[in-house]
Chains A and B, each alone.
Chain A
Amino acid sequence: MAEEKKLFKVTIDNITIEVEPGTSILNAARKIGGDVAPPAMCYYTKLKGSGGKCRTCLVEVAAGSTADPRPMPKLVASCRTNVMDGMIVKNITSEKVIDARNGVVEFLLINHPLDCPICDQAGECSLQDLSYEHGKEATRYEFKRRTFEKHDMGPFIQLHMTRCILCYRCVFAADQLTDKREHGILDRGDHSEIATYIQKSLDHDFIGNIIDVCPVGALTDRTFRFKNRVWFLKPEDAHRDCPKCNGKVTLWYRGDEVFRVTARKDQWGEVQDWICNECRFEKKKTADWVIEGPTKISRHSVISANHYVGMEVPKETLPDVMGGRKPKLLMNIHSVSEVNRPGIDLSKIEGPAHSTDFVEAKNGS
């Protein structure tokens, strides 16, 4: 037997785990799961060189390692910083992190069109989730938002640059999945944009995957545009014998009709296996596929709203983060509040409830 590999001990938000050397803080935190995993808008496990850009995954390193326990002077991008043995990391337990992350989310939103009601990505958008967790209800930005013309990158993909957060994932995906480079970033700063060279179309067999890696609705499937809302669809895992890819996909049904085909995604929203354009855009009949069953969907996702099979209850980490103490925020209102009286069933009171109804209850009626 080979000698056991030395593992690194790392403590993230008071939870200690052991991981292999070379693991990033983000991946270590994902191992713990739940709220301890920082949000990642640009990192993508399968894409070499990705990460480091969006800055949503910033964490505080309170101690670098057992050997050198000094804290790191700045917050670091957890997706691009590897753990050391004895490292102590603070994510949701660090006020600095929360403050910086709120800042990053605000930055990502100031020029975003916020057109979720007409965006195909709504319901499965990482930026929506991020703003839900960290965004403010009002904006401090009072200027005209940046806009771009939409363009079609060939028959299957539409680029709506106005929504792009410049995570570079599609650039890495296109570079790494295809043999020649046809798309990249033009210009710089707040005027930079994703573009093909003079609006050429992208027509590689695997290019459809850039739709799946896009965290927002900047790259959408033209064969699905405006056809349906994702939360009305039911995802089913399916496969077929495909000569080009391994043919493992998710079919998105409404009734008997397949509205779209995507790659399968893991719990962090990352594609498990790249699929080819033929599977994605041309096989939209149930007869093309062998159905495996309902896709597992997180209970937090709106997609789970209309079907309760295959729902996954997300991991609860808060009690561990708090070292066994019960989080104050999640107190039981019934046991603390004098106003609410759990013993009274409002629906059984005739007519509108009056304060007297409660007084009576208190008096032990």
Chain B
Amino acid sequence: MGRKLLLEKAHVEGIRTYEVYRREGGYRSVEKALKTMTPDQITDEVKKSGLRGRGGAGFPTGMKWSFIAKPEGVPRHLVCNADESEPGTFKDRYLMEFLPHLLIEGLIVSSFALGSNVTYIYIRGEYAWIVDILEQAIAEAKQNGWLGNNILGTGFNCEIYVHRGAGAYICGEETALLESLEGKRGNPRIKPPFPAVKGAWDRPTVVNNVETLAAVVPIINIGAEEYAKIGIGKSTGTKLISACGNINKPGVYEIDMTISVEDFIYSDEYCGGIPNGKKLKACIPGGSSVPILPANLLLKTVKGETRIMNYESLSDGGFAKGSMMGSGGFIVLDEDQCVVRNTLTLARFYRHESCGQCSPCREGTGWMEKILKNIEYGKGKSSDIDLLWDIQRKIEGNTICPLGDAAAWPVAAAIRHFRDEFEWHVANPLESQKRNFGLAHYADPLESVTA
């Protein structure tokens, strides 16, 4: 059984309250960090731990922190990204709902490291009840001297405010988030300048995911070296995975990034296999934006190695033969699922969530959705598949923010791996309305898949 660093205490009765959380050893990392370490030492510790951002891109957190500009007399900010709106991803919600104090604890240590006296949690608006939970936790932390002025007599002041989003996925993109936090329309900014230089109100700002900031707590408690021992290679520590789709036990799991994808899906400790004896067809391993993989490429890499649930292994093979860890939203599709329909659902999402600033994303996402709708509903032409490919190709890399890429990749991967399913839809417009293409050869051993 994998080691748990974040969710270990999630089911202790009353852990949401300050008393129980503290009794279980909560806020030790704040004592250790503020009393015995300097901000730079904390940043170094986070660097050494190998912690990578859990929001999707996997950027090394310690390095990000060390980039923050420190001009004289200008306040700096830490902003916690709790916008979690990527389809398939619901790990931050779980963490905040069950262990609000763990996040607050991580925020205090991180704020100290970055010199942020005013720290924000930007939370997706639909998580309305969690706002109450967090505000309660903040109030309790403040009553007990962990927030406010002169924390633990160190002279460090810190306040945390929760800011609710208004229902836009794009506000999870860090610069759109900052615009929205400033009270403006949530359009991503054109970079450079990067937030580390000009972030919220043009002040140096670090934006990190909820899970990233919570992970700072065990890093300080057990030390970077101990933390880095868990996992393999550049995938250190533990990772929260939100698993959903056709599995027996959907939910949020903490894994130590050494487990194979196959074990994760089939073992009783995690997803518990696929219901009703169905077979695995495909999987989107890291949230809706990452490439979908057919079963045969999911369980083994092209080199024939067992695929492991970590950053390197999931992306082994690049985009052509691999996928990404992304935000840890693990979506499983069984043999009864239609990849065309799934792709249409995602395309609709991205069309709806595009901010509309740049032409390729604004116009291209809508176009792709319309074509996919035709194919799905038996009105497609065979030229539509190539057209889709061309549209996604012209969006990718040509937009202001990565939402354009995130809209293009699922379409590209679906066509790349499931082209015959698209072609079957086009060739069999009537039959495709009555039945699914099914498993076809997508789970066959790799050798038999024609490249």
Q: Which residues of B contact A (CB under 8 A)?
A: 168, 170, 185, 190, 351-360, 362-367, 370, 387, 394, 397-400
Contact = CB atoms under 8 A, between A and B. Distances in A.
Contacts of A192: 355-356, 362
Contacts of A107: 359-360, 362-364, 367, 394
Contacts of B357: 53, 166, 168
Given A52-B190, A55-B398, A141-B367, A189 B360 contact: no
Given A52-B190, A140-B387, A189 B354 contact: yes
Contacts of B394: 99-100, 103-104, 106-107
Contact of A184 (B185, B360, B363): B185
Contact of B370 (A103, A108, A143): A143
26 contacts: A53-B357, A53-B400, A75-B398, A77-B190, A99-B394, A104-B398, A107-B360, A107-B362, A107-B394, A108-B359, A108-B363, A111-B363, A140-B387, A143-B370, A166-B356, A166-B362, A185-B185, A185-B356, A188-B170, A188-B355, A189-B355, A189-B366, A190-B356, A190-B366, A191-B356, A192-B362
A74 B191 CA distance: 13
A110 B398 contact: no
Given A55-B399, A100-B394, A190 B358 contact: no
Interface string A167-199: 010000000000000001101111110000000
B365 A190 contact: yes
A190 B362 contact: yes
Contact of A53 (B185, B352, B359, B397): B359
A189 B352 contact: yes
A52 B394 CA distance: 16
A218 interface: no
A104 B362 CA distance: 11
Contacts of B366: 111, 189-190
B378 to A, nearest CB: 16
Contacts of B355: 188-189, 192
A190 B351 contact: yes
Contacts of B358: 52-55
A80 interface: yes
Interface centre among B190, B357, B359, B364 (most CB of A within 10 A): B359
B185 A100 contact: no
B365 A189 contact: yes
A24 B351 CA distance: 31
Category for how many chain A residues contact B:
20 to 34
Given A111-B366, A190-B354, 7 more contacts: A58-B398, A107-B394, A143-B367, A168-B357, A185-B356, A190-B351, A192-B355
A110 B356 contact: no
A52 B359 contact: no
A202 interface: no
Interface of A: 51-56, 58, 74-75, 77, 80, 99-100, 103-104, 106-108, 110-111, 140-141, 143, 165-166, 168, 184-185, 187-192
Nearest to B369: A190
A356 B190 CA distance: 65
A99 to B, nearest CB: 8
Interface centre among A53, A166, A185 (most CB of B within 10 A): A53
Binding site of B, secondary structure by majority: helix, strand, loop or mixed? helix
Contacts, number: 87
A107 B366 CA distance: 10
A185 B351 CA distance: 17
A295 B353 CA distance: 45
A58 B353 CA distance: 24
A110 B367 contact: yes
A189 B353 contact: yes
B359 A190 contact: no
Nearest to A187: B356
Contact of B360 (A55, A140, A165): A55
A111 B362 CA distance: 11
A285 B354 CA distance: 47
Contact of A80 (B185, B190, B356, B398): B190
A58 B358 CA distance: 12
A184 B354 CA distance: 17
A55 B397 CA distance: 11
The 10 closest A-B pairs by CB, nearest first: A103-B394, A107-B363, A52-B190, A189-B354, A192-B356, A190-B366, A189-B356, A107-B359, A74-B397, A143-B370
Nearest to A102: B394
A188 B356 contact: yes
B359 to A, nearest CB: 5
Nearest to B190: A52
A141 B366 CA distance: 11
Contacts of B354: 188-190
B166 to A, nearest CB: 11
A188 B166 CA distance: 13
Nearest to A79: B190
A9 to B, nearest CB: 22
A232 to B, nearest CB: 32
A52 B362 contact: no
Contacts of B362: 107, 166, 189-190, 192
A96 B190 CA distance: 21
Contacts of A55: 358-360, 398-399
Given A107-B364, A185-B185, A189-B351, A165 B359 contact: yes
A55 B394 CA distance: 11
A103 B364 CA distance: 9
Nearest to B364: A107
A52 to B, nearest CB: 4
Nearest to A146: B366
Nearest to A82: B192
A58 B190 CA distance: 14
A140 B363 CA distance: 13
Contacts of A191: 356
Contact of A190 (B168, B190, B363, B398): B363
B178 to A, nearest CB: 15
Contacts of A110: 363, 367
A189 B401 CA distance: 13
Contacts of B364: 107
B236 to A, nearest CB: 26
A119 to B, nearest CB: 19
Contacts of B351: 189-190
Contact of A104 (B170, B359, B370): B359
Contacts of A75: 397-398
A100 B370 CA distance: 21
Nearest to B350: A189
Interface centre among B355, B367, B398, B399 (most CB of A within 10 A): B398
B292 to A, nearest CB: 23
A253 B355 CA distance: 42
Nearest to B370: A143
A264 to B, nearest CB: 29
A145 B30 CA distance: 57
A296 to B, nearest CB: 31
Contacts of B367: 107, 110, 141, 143
A141 B351 CA distance: 16
A160 B168 CA distance: 27
A100 B359 CA distance: 12
A77 B354 CA distance: 19
A103 B398 contact: yes
Interface centre among B190, B354, B355, B400 (most CB of A within 10 A): B190
